[in-house]
């Protein structure tokens, strides 16, 4: 009798453990924010005043923490951004850490908070005139931007396993820009005079991004 009871208890214990494991695996499959690697591209970088294609990686360290980085090749400026076309080229690197509160997530979407850093470098050439004879000469400039921002974002998951991802974020922060030689940007202006953000020194940083990605 004792052996039968012990056997029954053992079977129930093993069955319960197996069921709990199956439930855990099923729950993990439903969670969109499980560990993994995300390959993405920032589509909004194509429409920036100094724009170009972007590619990024994001790695989920846990259900609530992720780290990522994206790189943008700056290949053009949008029409009427600057006075004249002076062949601006450069790159941008943005590392980021994201926090996903569990109470802000479900199977189809996750809100997150993030801290993002930015380093951007562009180079271009401009024609100057040496007085009094107005002799034309070419000056090469280099612009460097360092910035940081705190962001609020949303990830939405599509597909049977939630592998296709749409990511949007907005944020504010602070940036510092330096141009060498440092006398170029004060002779340039945007087409809209009251919307002058193209200046050296410290200025507010407004962050916005729209990404599409795939989770492996």
CATH number of 104's domain: 2.40.160.20
Give the number of other Cβ atoms within 10 Å of residue 123's Cβ.
Answer: 14
Contacts 24+ apart (CB under 8 A), 196-204: 201/176, 201/177, 202/174, 202/175, 202/176, 203/174, 203/175, 203/176, 203/177, 204/172, 204/173, 204/174, 204/175
The span from the CA of 49 to the CA of 53, in Å, is 13
Token output for 122: 């562009």
Token output for 127: 């024609």
* Same domain? 101 vs 176: yes
The span from the CA of 76 to the CA of 82, in Å, is 11
Range scoring the smallest mean pLDDT among 27-41, 106-120, 162-176, 198-212:
27-41
pLDDT of the residue at 3: 43
* Same domain? 80 vs 158: yes
* Same domain? 7 vs 58: no
* Same domain? 63 vs 126: yes
The predicted model gives 105-132 an average pLDDT of: 83
* Same domain? 182 vs 100: yes
* Same domain? 24 vs 53: no
- pLDDT: is 19 or 74 the higher one? 74
* Same domain? 52 vs 135: yes
| Residue matched to tokens 């590619």 | 55
Confidence of residue 96 (pLDDT cuts 50, 70, 90): very high
* Same domain? 26 vs 94: no
Residue 19's domain comprises: 1-30
Residue 96 half-sphere exposure toward CB, CA atoms < 13 A: 28
The span from the CA of 120 to the CA of 2, in Å, is 75
List beta partners, residue 163. none
pLDDT of the residue at 107: 76
Kindly tell me if the per-residue pLDDT of 128 is higher than 90.
Answer: no
* Same domain? 59 vs 90: yes
| Residue matched to tokens 């290949």 | 75
Q: What is the largest CA-CA distance in the chain?
A: 114
pLDDT of the residue at 189: 42
Kindly tell me if the per-residue pLDDT of 153 is higher than 80.
Answer: yes
* Same domain? 56 vs 161: yes
- pLDDT: is 118 or 64 the higher one? 118
* Same domain? 121 vs 172: yes
pLDDT of the residue at 201: 84
Range scoring the smallest mean pLDDT among 35-49, 63-77, 180-194, 200-214:
180-194
The span from the CA of 200 to the CA of 178, in Å, is 5
Angle, vertex CA 108, rays to CA 104 and CA 110, nearest 5:
30
């Amino acid at each position: 009798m004792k052996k039968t009871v012990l056997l029954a208890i053992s079977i129930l214990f093993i069955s319960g453990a197996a069921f709990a494991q199956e439930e855990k695996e099923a729950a993990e499959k439903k969670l969109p924010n499980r560990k993994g690697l995300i390959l993405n591209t920032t589509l909004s970088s194509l429409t920036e005043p100094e724009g170009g294609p972007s590619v990024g990686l994001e790695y989920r360290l846990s259900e609530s923490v992720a780290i990522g980085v994206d790189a943008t090749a700056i290949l053009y400026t949008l029409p009427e951004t600057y006075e004249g076309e002076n062949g601006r080229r450069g790159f941008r690197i943005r590392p980021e850490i994201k926090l996903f509160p569990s109470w802000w997530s479900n199977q189809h979407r996750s809100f997150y908070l993030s801290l993002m850093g930015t380093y951007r470098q562009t180079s271009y050439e401009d024609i100057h005139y040496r007085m009094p004879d107005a002799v034309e000469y070419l000056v090469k400039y280099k612009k460097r931007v360092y910035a940081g921002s705190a962001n609020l974002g949303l990830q939405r998951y599509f597909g049977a396993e939630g592998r296709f991802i749409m990511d949007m974020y907005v944020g504010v922060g602070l940036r510092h820009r330096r141009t060498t030689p440092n006398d170029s940007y004060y002779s340039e202006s945007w087409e809209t005079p009251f919307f002058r953000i193209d200046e050296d020194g410290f200025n507010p940083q407004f962050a916005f991004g729209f990404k599409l990605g795939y989770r492996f």
